[in-house]
Amino acid sequence: MSTGRLCDKSMENKIALLFNVNVEQIFCFSKGRVAFYALLKAMGIGPGDEVLMSGYTCVMVPSAPMFLGATCRYLDIEPHTYNLNPRLLDSHYSNKTKALIIQHTYGIAQDMAPILQWAKEKNIPIIEDCCHVFGSTYKNQLCGTFGVGAFFSGQWNKPFSTGLGGILLVNEASLLPKVQAIYESAVLPTLVEELRLKIQILSYKGLVNPKTVGAVMMAYRILSRLGIAAGSSSNEEFSGAMPKGYLKRMASVQKQEGERTLVSISALLAHRKQLGEYYAEKLPKIGFMSHMPMSESENIILRYPVRVANKEAIVSKALRNGVEIGSWFEIPLHPKGIDMACFGYQPGMCPESEKACCEVINLPTHQKISLKEADRILAFLQKYGKAVSPGTSIGSVPEES
Ligand SMILES: *Cc1c(COP(=O)(O)O)cnc(C)c1O
């Protein structure tokens, strides 16, 4: 945990290699949302500006532009990809629109062709939210390389973990000096924060396995709300206020953790890919729909989405039974309990998203899930899950454009 490592760029180097970019294009922050905020700030986004984004996301995404005084406009999703519907771009666009956020939900690559064409026509910069995606490609191009920049999350449950953390990849060269200046102005984690993160990383590794993950994450959320653990979100943020010390760099312990994970990244991704394909093959056999990937994309799934008619019941039963089933997203601006009106979301704005929030559960693909464990999850789903009745789910018939 030596502070000398703070100037060490070896984590940035590893990421740069994976994306085939220069190390100067990679910046490490305390969280994904902070990386996003830094990019928006470098782009000069501020009061009066509007940012377009998916209305099926984590509330920390709209909070970043809001902290700069900008307004978020939410686009509904396509029900079979969980990514934003490009046909809604025109109706949400105005002369105040300054950026378009593309989130590759669950690791499923957005259909980029209509997005790129629209953005080019309107001259709107694209930012990719890569918090769910690492290694997925669209027409053989890596997600994260399509826009002016992309941000990644190093949270526990994201593609690869730095404890907590965020990475910014800047593709647009003209933004680099501004991002560099913002990075330099960002506060450094204190030694106490470093220590706390280190303890959390170690206890996470010791405590968490597929059977305990639900209970441990619940305890962790309670501890962080009480201010004992370094939580992923503060109470202030949940109500739309920018917390003190928000613009913060990644701690060296997080970089070390990230580097350790990156050593085996290709095996990690191969495992996720294999499990994604396994679920896709098995789900229809037990009466559930697998999602419909586009032929142009190769997806490395972070969490495999499945629609059920009894989401709440099966999620809580899974928690009690030590079966890892996730609930992303519970409301259009996840998590449940926040006041979405503070973030400009009104009920009814995104009907497909609201429907997905009621129906979609997700299955894990991480390293601790063996094929045997996946079978146990599938058996649980078969026993207790109720498939959505055909016709009400759209998974089978993608809408024509
Ligand atoms: C987790 C998540 C974020 C935020 O990442 P943090 O590192 O927690 O700031 C942003 N977008 C999506 C889609 C996420 O799932």
Question: pLDDT value at position 192?
Answer: 85
Q: Are residues 68 and 150 in the same domain?
A: yes
Question: pLDDT value at position 351?
Answer: 98
Question: pLDDT value at position 401?
Answer: 37
Q: Are residues 106 and 196 in the same domain?
A: no
Q: Are residues 36 and 174 in the same domain?
A: yes
Q: Are residues 169 and 301 in the same domain?
A: no
- Which ligand 1 atom is the nearest neighbour of the CA of 154? 7
CATH of the domain at 85: 3.40.640.10
Question: pLDDT value at position 391?
Answer: 53
Question: pLDDT value at position 214?
Answer: 75
Ligand 1 binding pocket mutation candidate from 54, 129, 130, 131 (most atoms within 8 A of CB)? 131
In a domain, 108, yes or no: yes
Burial (0-12, 13-18, 19+ Cβ within 10 Å), 272: buried
In a domain, 35, yes or no: yes
Question: Could you give the CA distance from residue 245 to residue 259 in angstroms, rounded to a whole number?
Answer: 25
Of 164, 185, 206, the one marking the end of a domain is 185
Q: Are residues 77 and 110 in the same domain?
A: yes
Among 373, 357, 386, 275, residue whose Cα is nearest residue 324: 373
Write the residue with the smallest CA distance to atom 15 of ligand 1. Answer: 131
Q: What is the mean pLDDT of each run of 10 residues along the chain (401 residues)?
A: 60 96 97 98 98 98 97 97 97 98 97 98 98 96 98 90 91 98 96 84 74 72 70 75 93 91 94 96 93 83 97 96 96 95 97 98 96 98 91 44 37
31, 226, 248 from 256: Cα distances, Å: 15, 27, 17
Write the residue with the smallest CA distance to atom 14 of ligand 1. Answer: 131
Write the residue with the smallest CA distance to atom 6 of ligand 1. Answer: 32
Distance between Cα 59 and ligand 1 center (Å):
8
Q: Are residues 178 and 207 in the same domain?
A: no
- What is the CB < 6 Å shell around ligand 1? 31-33, 57-58, 60-61, 103, 129, 131-132, 153, 155, 158, 166, 232
Q: Are residues 307 and 322 in the same domain?
A: yes
Q: Are residues 323 and 214 in the same domain?
A: no
Among 309, 308, 299, residue whose Cα is nearest residue 365: 299
* Domain extent for 289: 265-396
User: What order of strands is seen across the sheet that includes strand 137-138?
Assistant: 141-142, 137-138, 297-298
Question: pLDDT value at position 164?
Answer: 85
Q: Are residues 20 and 156 in the same domain?
A: yes
Q: Are residues 59 and 144 in the same domain?
A: yes
In a domain, 344, yes or no: yes
Q: Are residues 196 and 99 in the same domain?
A: no
- Reading the block at residue 54, the tokens are 């998916």
